[in-house]
Structures are given as structure tokens and as C-alpha cells.
């Protein structure tokens, strides 16, 4: 944990306390904490800074991510926010009410060709020997593969139609990084499943990791599923 992560967490928690709310904080940095006589019915899952390495290097691609849920599992998230701090852009979603970029409704792309699609792929791993064979087929078909280094924001780029899919099958990304992003991309008409096309339902816990494919539409999702080995 870097000082900037802790400072961001403190700022988020202090702001929430100021509003006199009770909740269980689930933070990437400090784990579980009851705030304000916490009711078991409100969970606030936070990644104070997603993309810390970018931030420290002065690369303007990092975010704060906050998800609110009624239970301690990722499927129960009903409100999400990802703040692209360097660009003063905020992505939000409320279950059943759509996804928004600075208050304006957003939608995923309609791109169906892997020749044209921009596909985000997190290969940031120490286990290349395990992960590279799983995505070798994708490297052969997708012409424009990217990784910018802040997965919460990259999922919002799918939601906003800037990229057409984002894949992380390293079994390394934590629920705290993706809880808000998943709701945002789904509310923008995107699709999120595991690499074997199952719904994702894991406990919200900073220690819990997961694999996922987030796509702009069903057609591109099916093509990616056929090229990625679970
Ligand atoms: C990191 C980013 C990065 C991913 C790492 C994550 P953090 O989040 O999302 O893109 O490759 O696995 O840990 O650590 O900066 O919150
Ligand atoms: Ca973080």
C-alpha cells in the first residue's frame, strides 16, 4: 500500500462519515471496517485508487471506485461510481436506471468485428506461462489489444463505447477493483461473465479474486469466449 492509497481511503471514509451514514466498509486497503454503528444492510466496497502505479508515474489513468450493495456479494451491488480523477470524469450507475458519464447516459459499442474492435487485456502477471496459452487464440484474431493499467476505468471504457471489451483472466484482480465497474458496464448494455460464460457471483472481500470478460455486446462476447480458454 502506498501513502496515496491510504490518503484516498481516508478522504472517502471521512466524506461519508460527514454525511452521517452507517455502513460496513470493504476496502482494498484496510479490509472490513464498521463505520457509524454499521447496519448489516449497507456495504460500501472501495478501491481508493485503482491504477496506483500509473498515478505514481504521472500517467493520467487512474480512478477511485465505490460500489454500494445490500449484501456482501458482487451481484447485490445496486449503485456504483468510478471517478477518472485526472480527467474530471465520473461514471455512475444505479441498478435498472442505466449508466452515466458526468450525468449523460452512456451505451456500449455495437462493434462486432475483431478486426476493428479495441480489446483490453490485462496481461500484468507474474504467471505468464499459465495465462499466455489461454489467450493465444485472441492474439491471433484481435488486431488492437490494449492495457492501460486501471481495470475499474477500463471496464468503464467498455461501458462508454471507447473500447469493445476488457478481459482479465489472471485470477488476480480483486472484487474491490471491479464491483462498481461491473454494474456500470451492465447498466450500459454490456455483458460480464467468466471465461466459461458463467454469471459472476463472488463474495465482496478484498482477498477475493476473480476472472472476467466484459464485452460491449453479445456478438463480440461470443467471439471472445470462443478464443479464450478458461
Ligand atoms: C491494479 C490495476 C491494474 C491491474 C492490477 C491491479 P491497483 O489496481 O487495476 O490495471 O493490472 O492487477 O492491482 O493495485 O492499482 O488498485
Ligand atoms: Ca487500489
Distance between CA atoms of residues 121 and 124, nearest Å: 9
Q: How far is CA 174 from the centre of its chain?
A: 9
Q: Can you read off the three cell numbers belonging to residue 225?
A: 469466449
The answer on pLDDT for 225 being more than 90 is yes
Q: How far is the CA of 47 from the centre of ligand 2 (A)?
A: 5
Burial status of residue 201 (CB atoms within 10 A of its CB: 0-12, 13-18, 19 or more): exposed
Place of cell 479474486: 209
Name all residues whose Cβ lies below 6 A of ligand 1: 28, 47, 50-52, 122, 124, 149-151, 172-173, 177
Whole-prediction pTM: 0.97
Distance between CA atoms of residues 215 and 206, nearest Å: 24
Is residue 115 within a helix (H) or strand (E), and if so which, with residue range?
A: none
Residue 39, pLDDT score:
63
Q: How far is the CA of 50 from the centre of ligand 1 (A)?
A: 6
Distances (CA, A) of 83 to 111, 155, 164: 26, 12, 20
Taking only the tens place, the pLDDT of each residue in 19-69 is 888 999 999 988 999 998 866 689 999 999 999 999 999 999 999 999 999
Q: Which atom of ligand 1 is nearest to the CA of 172?
A: 12
Could you tell which of 57, 62, 122, 207 is best to mutate to test the pocket of ligand 1, judged by most ligand atoms within 8 Å of the CB?
A: 122
Q: Can you read off the three cell numbers belonging to residue 191?
A: 455483458
Taking only the tens place, the pLDDT of each residue in 164-178 is 999 999 999 999 999
Amino acid at each position: 500500500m502506498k501513502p496515496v492509497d491510504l490518503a484516498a481511503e481516508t478522504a472517502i471514509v471521512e466524506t461519508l462519515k460527514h454525511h452521517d451514514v452507517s455502513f460496513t466498509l470493504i476496502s482494498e486497503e484496510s479490509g472490513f471496517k464498521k463505520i457509524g454503528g454499521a447496519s448489516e444492510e449497507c456495504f460500501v466496497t472501495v478501491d481508493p485508487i485503482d491504477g496506483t502505479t500509473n498515478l505514481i508515474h504521472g500517467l493520467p489513468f487512474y480512478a477511485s471506485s465505490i460500489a454500494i450493495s445490500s449484501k456482501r456479494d458482487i451481484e447485490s451491488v445496486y449503485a456504483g461510481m468510478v471517478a477518472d480523477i485526472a480527467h474530471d470524469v465520473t461514471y455512475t450507475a444505479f441498478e435498472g436506471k442505466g449508466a452515466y458519464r458526468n450525468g449523460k447516459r452512456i451505451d456500449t459499442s455495437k462493434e462486432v468485428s475483431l478486426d476493428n474492435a479495441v480489446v483490453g487485456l490485462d496481461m500484468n502477471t507474474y504467471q505468464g506461462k499459465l495465462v499466455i496459452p489461454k489467450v493465444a487464440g485472441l492474439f491471433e484474431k484481435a488486431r488492437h489489444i490494449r492495457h492501460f493499467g486501471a481495470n475499474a476505468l477500463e471496464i468503464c471504457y467498455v461501458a462508454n463505447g471507447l473500447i469493445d471489451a476488457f478481459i482479465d483472466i489472471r485470477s488476480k484482480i480483486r472484487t474491490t477493483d471491479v464491483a462498481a465497474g461491473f454494474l456500470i458496464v451492465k447498466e450500459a448494455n454490456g455483458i460480464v461473465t467468466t471465461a466459461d460464460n458463467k454469471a459472476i457471483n463472488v463474495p465482496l472481500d478484498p482477498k477475493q479474486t476473480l476472472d472476467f470478460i466484459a464485452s460491449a455486446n453479445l456478438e463480440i462476447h461470443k467471439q471472445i469466449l470462443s478464443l479464450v480458454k478458461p
